[in-house]
Amino acid sequence: MALANILNERTARYFDLVNEPQTLKGIDGIPIADSEYKDFPANGTTVPTNWDVSFGDVLNWSKGRPTEAYFVMENRTLLKNPDRTGSGYLTIPFIVTRNTRNALMKYEYVIQGIGKDYVSTVEMHPDDIFIQKNWGSVPAEMHSRNVEFIYDPLEEFLYVNIPHTSKSKEFKLGSTTMKDIETWFTGALEDQSSFRVKYNFTGPHFQKYHDVYRLHTETLPLPKTWSAVPGTIDIGHDHSRGEWTFYGDRKHLNDAKKHVQEFYKDLSITIEDEPPHKVVSIV
């Protein structure tokens, strides 16, 4: 896409066909009759030629979460909200942002119209102004590997995914940099390791865990090349049991374990390597 077109691109429009149907007009400026849009369209439906809509605009037939929101594609067909969460939230996909370098500005009216609470992610081009301003320029190697950049406007996390792998990590707005992303990316390309942390806290240990630790809400210090994901968790009024899986580059495996051990220095946990499942108890 030419630079001039990128700089002069139009902001996507949002049409709420439940609460403000009069905003959808024909090319003659007259509101479209409700009989023309009252039924939910099928994915891939072609928009009538007399509707005043453009590529990237969003038509929403939903009453709550945007489960029936559709993007207008370049050929005037409709793409249903891809909803990567599976829970009815809006995903603004790369197919409509790949030619923009300011996705948040392009979709500001859509995000405002649907509500930030109902927008899960915005898939961005690596050269997006928002990424460059808040993290820095994406290195050429990450460009060449088609690394994906996905922003969560509610939680303010930038998710970085390496395609065709399960490797992904989130980077908090305001507290991480492109250097952090590069460090993780380099480590993700090396040999990987993982281990599980299991815990079962009751009595005084549960109270201490509840008041001080709370791993599921605490930011556990880890090497920048490592991540953690929760497994099963069972929390009651007098107990908490569950497990977390930690994964990252093999080079920093012992360092990652050390961070976990220091975090739980006065509580009993179990560390299991994966694989092999070598069990080490820490008291």
Which CATH number belongs to the domain containing residue 237 in this structure? 3.30.70
Instruction: Say how many CA atoms lie within 13 Å of 263 toward its Cβ.
Output: 19
pLDDT for the residue 5: 52
Q: Are residues 78 and 166 in the same domain?
A: yes
Q: Are residues 203 and 117 in the same domain?
A: no
Return the higher-pLDDT residue of 252 and 264: 252
**Cα–Cα nearest to 187, from 173, 201, 167, 206:** 167
Joined together, the tokens standing for residue 283 give: 């008291």
Rounded CA separation 195/203 (Å): 26
Q: Are residues 158 and 206 in the same domain?
A: no
**Those residues with Cβ within 8 angstroms of residue 42's Cβ, 6 or more apart along the chain or in another chain:** none
Q: Are residues 138 and 196 in the same domain?
A: no
Q: Please state the rounded mean pLDDT for residues 148-160.
A: 96
Q: Are residues 119 and 214 in the same domain?
A: no
Q: Please state the rounded mean pLDDT for residues 5-32.
A: 87
Q: Are residues 163 and 64 in the same domain?
A: yes
Q: Are residues 19 and 138 in the same domain?
A: yes
Average pLDDT of the residues of the chain:
87
Say if residues 178 and 186 touch (Cβ distance below 8 Å).
no
**Cα–Cα nearest to 203, from 164, 249, 237:** 237
* Residue 134 pLDDT > 90: yes
Give this prediction's pTM: 0.78
Q: Are residues 11 and 78 in the same domain?
A: yes
CA angle 80, 86, 92 (to 5 degrees): 45
Q: Are residues 223 and 176 in the same domain?
A: no
**Cα–Cα nearest to 114, from 13, 231, 247:** 13
Strand order in the sheet with 168-172: 90-92, 119-124, 148-152, 157-161, 168-172
**How many domains is the chain partitioned into structurally?**
2
Q: Are residues 27 and 145 in the same domain?
A: yes
Instruction: State which residues form the domain around 97.
Output: 3-187
Say if residues 87 and 64 touch (Cβ distance below 8 Å).
no
Q: Are residues 183 and 197 in the same domain?
A: no
Say if residues 30 and 2 touch (Cβ distance below 8 Å).
no
* Residue 260 pLDDT > 80: yes
